[in-house]
Amino acid sequence: MTASTDLATGRLATPELLRSVFRQHAAGVAVITAAGEHPVGFTATSLNSVAAEPPLISFGVGTGSSSWPVVAEAEHIGVHILGEHQQELAATFARSGADRFAAPTGWSTGPEGVPVLDGVLAWLVCRVVARIPAGDHRIVLAQVVTGDPVGAGRPLLYHQGRFNALRD
């Protein structure tokens, strides 16, 4: 099979094609939080390390999400790397209409007033430096202010539309 034959059998770009391809991509699971009149947060698999100097991260957020109005105005956001023991927490922050900060979610107000979740593998508080339009999403670029990398456990992954743990 030649490269041109491979291209001829591909499918045209659609939202479903993109979702289908990215179901094959295992990604780490994070929760992004921000402080507003009420704290907001959402599960993200789009978290990226952008640069070490200065320390920058990015993530995508849908402009139709309930968290977007607060994230759109927030000066600081929280980034939480979830462990394999936190599948239910990931599901709570992914669920539309959920009271994400109600019990059993453990959290406290952290640096810069950002909600910081309990029991995560690692967390960062970051200063938002840009919100870049990207279709029905915004790419948020943020500079790390402070954090803690020493939580215990193994990372939670998202693959094939499900939360998963690493296998030995």
- The number of domains in the chain is 1
User: pLDDT for 58-97, tens place per residue?
Assistant: 999 999 999 999 999 999 999 999 999 999 999 999 999 8
CA distance 82 to 106: 13
Q: Is residue 20 part of a domain?
A: no
Q: With pLDDT > 90 as the criterion, what percentage of the chain qualifies?
A: 75
- The pLDDT tens digits for 29-53 are 999 999 999 999 999 999 999 999 9
Q: 43 vs 11, 14, 58, 119, CA distance in Å?
A: 29, 23, 14, 16
Q: Is residue 130 part of a domain?
A: yes
Q: Please indicate, yes or no, if residue 58 is contained in any of the structural domains.
A: yes
Write the CATH number for 33. 2.30.110.10
> In this structure, is residue 9 part of a structural domain?
no
Q: Is residue 39 part of a domain?
A: yes
> Does the pLDDT at position 1 exceed 60?
no
> Does residue 124 fall inside a structural domain?
yes
Q: Is residue 101 a part of any domain in this protein?
A: yes
- Apex CA 35: angle with CA 34 and CA 37, to 5°? 135
With respect to residue 166, please indicate whether it lies within any of the assigned structural domains.
no
Residue 125 has pLDDT above 90, yes or no: yes
Domain containing 54 equals: 26-160
